[in-house]
Amino acid sequence: MAGYHEDAEMTAEACRDGHYHTGDIAAADADGYLTYVGRADDVFKASDYKISPFELESILLEHPYVTEVAIVPSPDPLRAAVPKAFICLVQDAVARPQDAAAEIFAHARERLSAYQRVRIVEFVTELPKTISGKIRRVELREREADRVAHASAEGQYLDRDFR
């Protein structure tokens, strides 16, 4: 592409060092294979570790109760942020949110490193999406920041309560 229409600043930011920078993050292994990590604007730090929502979402989606999930940072006074999961459940699990939370936290503890562990779960009936069907994490981040600012704990399941 030649650049952004009538926007030299955006063109300079995206088209630098002879490459177009998409905002996607990938990791290369010793054989040169690339593995998608996530979007640069979605990755966040928790206790000075970089957290990729995509990686955590992939693990949670393996659980049979989870139909959809979005991971966002939840502000935390000690760790700066902790991973929070907004989860849509299968119909059978909706009536038993306490049991579902316990099983999902156990599933995450078995498969994730301690620094990646999802610390908060909130069950939702649907996730906000763009017209093209992508989850609007920005909306969920704003919602979570507002919840923390108002010290609301309603509908929140905390990992520490299920150990």
Q: Is there a domain that residue 4 lies in? A: no
Q: What is the predicted pLDDT for the residue at 122? A: 97
Q: Three-state SS string across the chain, please?
A: CCCCCCCHHHHHHHEECCEECCCEEEEECCCCCEEEEEECCCCEEECCEEECHHHHHHHHCCCCCEEEEEEEEEEECCCEEEEEEEEEECHHHHCCHHHHHHHHHHHHHHHCCHHHCCCEEEECCCCCECCCCCECHHHHHHHHHHHHHCCCCCCEEEHHHHC
Instruction: Tell me: pLDDT of 66 over 90.
Output: yes
Read off the pLDDT of residues 89-105 as tens digits, 9 standing for 90 and up.
Answer: 999 999 999 999 999 99
The answer on pLDDT for 8 being more than 70 is yes
pLDDT at 16: 82
- Domain carrying residue 137: 23-162
- The pTM for the full model equals 0.78
Q: Specify if 112 maps to a domain.
A: yes
> Does the residue 12 lie in any domain?
no
How sure is the predictor about 41, in pLDDT bands with cuts at 50, 70 and 90?
low
Check which CATH number belongs to the domain holding 33 and give it: 3.30.300.30
pLDDT for the residue 91: 94
Instruction: Report the pLDDT averaged over residues 42-52.
Output: 84
- Total domains present in the chain: 1
pLDDT over 70 at 159, yes or no: yes
* 69 belongs to a structural domain: yes
What is the chain's mean pLDDT, rounded? 89
37 domain residue, yes or no: yes
Lowest mean pLDDT among 8-22, 44-58, 85-99: 8-22
